[in-house]
């Protein structure tokens, strides 16, 4: 199993600016790369992860930083409750490093990979619907919909048809079996630069873990929970996620475009709940991109909480 190399660590620390006495939520603990760097500044870390298998990493961190660290097993949607249960008075920073970790990808038995045979699972936690449940039970329409929407698979209907045809004879249980059926439905590899099943596997992973819904819930919870002056840093790895973060920050910093003369909209009188830490997104430099392929698609956006009331739910 390859260790998980934290992505954009220097840039994240700069945006999060943790200091002794601060309380920071690392909402995606993983192997604890960010957490350890934050703890080294003297801040206290409340870490979250929905994956029970990160526990040994958390035990090691707790051992090295006694009294300064705790791990809470919850998805982002439980962030606000988890924070309030800790009894901490003030939250100074929240960081999200969205997506799967190298540990999750590398373990065949987690079922994320179309390169290694394993059970068709893909759950980051150990609860809820698996990828096998989805491909064996969803109708053609919803299957094709997620392949298109979450995977950008142009031949989504053709893949869904092949899946439905095959599952009548034998339900899917293994990753490589599904990868082969998808590959065949798409007419083989034909020199494609990526495996033909890449997009369908990405789509299933996003659906199994409700990754986009969770991201929205996490951003809402951060807004509701951060103290004035608290910092938010979000690292994403594909455009669907980055779009959500960008739209959230554009709206909540008061920069959403108004209506035109021809299509006026009601004037938004809400005060911005965030100010941008920097314009746009920060990306990894040449050195990090060369050393860590995962860093090549990473984008960091960051903002500082104002003292205005939270705006609440993100419009879907």
Ligand X SMILES: C[S@@+](CC[C@H](N)C(=O)[O-])C[C@H]1O[C@@H](n2cnc3c(N)ncnc32)[C@H](O)[C@@H]1O
According to the annotation, is 87 in a ligand binding site? Answer: no
- In eight-state DSSP terms, residue 227 is P
| C-alpha span between 104 and 128 (Å, rounded) | 17
Stretch that binds ligand X, among 14-22, 50-58, 223-231, 259-267 (CB under 6 A): 50-58
Min dist. Cβ of residue 33 to ligand X (A): 2
**In this structure, are strands 274-276 and 231-236 parallel, antiparallel, or unpaired?**
unpaired
Stretch that binds ligand X, among 23-31, 114-122, 155-163, 250-258 (CB under 6 A): 23-31
SS3 call for 31: coil
x/- mask, ligand X, residues 87-126, rule CB under 6 A, reads ----------x-x-x----------------------x--
- Exactly one of 8, 13, 24, 31 binds ligand X (CB under 6 A); that residue is 31
32 binds ligand X (CB under 6 A): yes
| C-alpha span between 180 and 130 (Å, rounded) | 19
| C-alpha span between 213 and 218 (Å, rounded) | 9
Min dist. Cβ of residue 215 to ligand X (A): 7
Q: How many CB atoms lie within 10 A of CB 84?
A: 11
Cβ-based burial of 263 (10 A; exposed 0-12, middle 13-18, buried ≥19)? exposed
Min dist. Cβ of residue 9 to ligand X (A): 7
According to the annotation, is 152 in a ligand binding site? Answer: no
Stretch that binds ligand X, among 48-56, 143-151, 253-261, 265-273 (CB under 6 A): 48-56
Q: What contacts 129, CB < 8 A, 6 or more positions away?
A: 123, 208
According to the annotation, is 14 in a ligand binding site? Answer: no
| C-alpha span between 65 and 80 (Å, rounded) | 24
The CA-based dihedral angle spanning residues 21, 23, 26, 29, taken in that order and rounded to the nearest 10 degrees: 70
299 binds ligand X (CB under 6 A): no
According to the annotation, is 42 in a ligand binding site? Answer: no
Q: Answer whether 78's CB lies under 8 Å from 214's CB.
A: no
Residues flagged as binding site for S-adenosyl-L-methionine? 32-34, 49, 76, 97, 104
Residues that bind ligand X (CB under 6 A): 4, 6, 28, 30-34, 48-51, 54, 75-76, 97, 99, 101, 124, 214
Residues flagged as binding site? 32-34, 49, 76, 97, 104
């Amino acid at each position: 199993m390859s260790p998980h190399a934290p992505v954009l660590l220097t840039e994240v620390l700069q945006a999060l600016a943790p200091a002794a006495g601060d309380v920071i939520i690392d909402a995606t603990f993983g192997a604890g790369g960010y957490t350890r760097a934050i703890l080294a500044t003297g801040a206290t870390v409340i870490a979250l992860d929905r994956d029970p298998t990160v526990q040994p990493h958390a035990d090691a961190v707790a051992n090295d930083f006694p009294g300064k660290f705790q791990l809470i097993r919850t998805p982002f949607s439980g962030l606000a409750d988890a924070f309030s249960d800790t009894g901490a008075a003030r939250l100074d920073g929240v960081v999200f490093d969205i997506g799967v970790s190298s540990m999750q990808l590398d373990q065949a038995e987690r079922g994320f990979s179309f390169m290694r045979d394993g059970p068709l699972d893909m759950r980051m936690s150990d609860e809820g619907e698996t990828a096998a449940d989805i491909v064996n039970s969803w109708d053609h329409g919803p299957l094709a919909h997620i392949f298109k929407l979450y995977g950008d698979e142009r031949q989504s209907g053709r893949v869904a048809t092949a899946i439905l045809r095959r599952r009548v004879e034998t339900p899917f249980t293994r990753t490589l079996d599904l990868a082969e059926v998808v590959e065949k439905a798409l007419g083989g590899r034909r020199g494609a630069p990526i495996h033909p099943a890449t997009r369908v596997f990405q789509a299933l992973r996003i659906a199994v873990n409700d990754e986009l819904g969770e991201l929205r819930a996490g951003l809402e919870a951060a807004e509701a929970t951060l103290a004035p002056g608290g910092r938010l840093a979000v690292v994403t790895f594909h455009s669907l996620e980055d779009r959500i973060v960008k739209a959230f920050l554009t709206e909540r910093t008061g920069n959403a475009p108004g209506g035109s003369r021809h299509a006026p909209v009601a004037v938004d009188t809400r005060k911005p709940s965030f100010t941008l830490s920097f314009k746009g997104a920060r990306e990894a430099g040449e050195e990090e991109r060369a050393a860590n392929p995962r860093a090549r698609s990473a984008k960091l956006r960051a903002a500082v909480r104002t003292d205005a009331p939270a705006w609440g739910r993100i419009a879907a």
